[in-house]
Chain A
Amino acid sequence: MSSMNMVQALNSAMDVMLTRDPNVLVFGEDVGYFGGVFRCTAGLQAKHGRQRVFDAPIAEGGIVATAVGMGAYGLRPVVEIQFADYILPAFDQLVSEASRLRYRSAGEFWAPITVRSPCGGGIHGGQTHSQSPESIFTHISGLKTVMPSTPYDAKGLLIAAIEDNDPVIFLEPKRLYNGPFDGHHDRPLQPWASHPAGEVPDDYYRIELGKASIVRPGKACTVLTYGTMVHVCLSAVEESGIDAEVIDLRSLFPIDVETITASVARTGRCVIAHEASRTSGFGAELGQLVQEHCFHSLESPIRRVTGWDTPYPHALEWKYFPGPKRVMHALKSVMEN
Chain B
Amino acid sequence: MNADNPLAVSPATLELYVPEPAARPGDTPDFSHLHIPPAGIVPRPATDAPESSLRELPYQLIRVLDGQGKAVGPWNPKLSAERLRHGLRTMLRTRAFDERMVRLQRTGKTSFYIKSTGEEAIGVAQAFALNRDDMCFTSYRQQGLLFARDWPMVDLICQIFNNRKDRLKGRQLPVLYSAREAGYYSLSGNVGSRFPHAVGWAMASAYKRDSRIASAWIGDGTSAEGDFHYALTFASVYHAPVILNVVNNQWAISTPQAIAGGNEATFASRALGFGLPGLRVDGNDFLAVYAATEWAAERARRNLGATLIELYTYRAAAHSTSDDPSKYRPEGEANAWPLGDPVERLKQHLLGLGEWTEERHTALLAECEEEVRAAVKEAESHGTLHSGDDDLESLFEDVFETMPQHLRDQLDELRSIG
Contacts and interface: CB of A to CB of B under 8 A. Distances in A.
Q: Say whether A associates with B.
A: yes
Given A66-B234, A92-B193, A101 B186 contact: yes
B188 A100 contact: yes
B264 interface: no
A267 interface: no
Contacts of B167: 106, 108
Interface stretch (B4-12, B224-232, B331-339): B224-232
Nearest to A74: B204
Contact of B180 (A62, A65, A75, A108): A108
Contacts of A164: 401
B108 to A, nearest CB: 24
A105 interface: yes
A102 B203 CA distance: 21
A286 B114 CA distance: 44
B193 A93 contact: yes
A197 interface: no
Contacts of A102: 398-401
Given A73-B204, A74-B204, A105 B168 contact: yes
A310 interface: no
A61 B186 contact: no
Interface in A93-142: 93, 96-97, 100-110, 141-142
Given A68-B200, A110-B401, A75 B207 contact: yes
Interface string B165-204: 0011101100010111000011010100110111111111
A87 to B, nearest CB: 14
Nearest to A51: B207
A107 B168 CA distance: 9
A59 B204 CA distance: 18
B201 A72 contact: yes
A93 B176 CA distance: 18
Contacts, number: 137
B200 A73 contact: yes
A165 interface: yes
Contact of B401 (A66, A67, A93, A165): A165
Contacts of B406: 254-255, 257
Contacts of B200: 65-73, 77
Interface in B257-298: none
A107 B208 CA distance: 23
Contact of A25 (B135, B176, B180, B207): B207
Contact of A104 (B176, B198, B207): B176
Given A97-B188, A97-B193, A69 B203 contact: yes
Nearest to A57: B233
B399 A106 contact: no
A74 B176 CA distance: 22
Interface residues of B, number: 46
Contacts of A257: 405-406
A61 B398 contact: no
Contact of A69 (B169, B172, B188, B199): B199
Given A69-B203, A101-B186, A61 B227 contact: yes
B171 to A, nearest CB: 6
A65 B196 contact: yes
A166 interface: yes
A89 interface: yes
Contacts of B76: none
Contacts of A74: 204
B414 interface: no
B237 interface: yes
B201 A69 contact: yes
B404 interface: yes
A69 B196 contact: yes
Interface centre among B202, B204, B205, B226 (most CB of A within 10 A): B204
A68 B171 contact: no
Given A69-B201, A72-B201, A92 B190 contact: yes
Interface in A155-176: 164-166
B186 A104 contact: yes
Contacts of A51: 207
A104 B231 CA distance: 22
Interface string A252-282: 0011010000000000000000000000000
A109 B188 contact: no
B188 A61 contact: no
B188 to A, nearest CB: 6
Nearest to B170: A106
Given A62-B196, A97-B188, A141-B399, A106 B231 contact: no
Contacts of B204: 69-70, 73-75
Interface string B205-227: 10110000010000000000011
A102 B396 CA distance: 12
Interface string A30-62: 000000000000000000000100001101011
Nearest to A254: B404
Nearest to A103: B398
Contacts of B188: 96-97, 100, 104
A92 B168 CA distance: 22
B178 A105 contact: yes
A189 to B, nearest CB: 37
Given A69-B198, A142-B399, A104 B172 contact: yes
Nearest to A107: B398
A28 to B, nearest CB: 13
A166 B404 CA distance: 12
Contacts of B227: 61, 65
Given A62-B231, A73-B205, A254-B405, 20 more contacts: A59-B234, A61-B230, A62-B230, A67-B200, A69-B204, A70-B201, A72-B185, A75-B207, A89-B226, A92-B193, A97-B188, A97-B197, A102-B398, A104-B172, A104-B176, A105-B178, A108-B167, A108-B179, A142-B399, A255-B406
16 contacts: A61-B230, A65-B193, A65-B199, A65-B231, A66-B203, A68-B197, A69-B200, A69-B201, A70-B204, A73-B200, A75-B204, A75-B208, A97-B188, A97-B193, A104-B168, A109-B185
Interface of B: 135, 137, 167-169, 171-172, 176, 178-180, 185-186, 188, 190, 193-194, 196-205, 207-208, 214, 226-227, 229-231, 233-234, 237, 397-401, 404-406
Interface of A: 25, 51, 56-57, 59, 61-62, 65-75, 77, 89, 92-93, 96-97, 100-110, 141-142, 144, 164-166, 210, 254-255, 257
7 smallest beta-carbon distances between A and B, as pairs: A69-B200, A62-B230, A66-B200, A69-B197, A65-B196, A73-B204, A105-B186
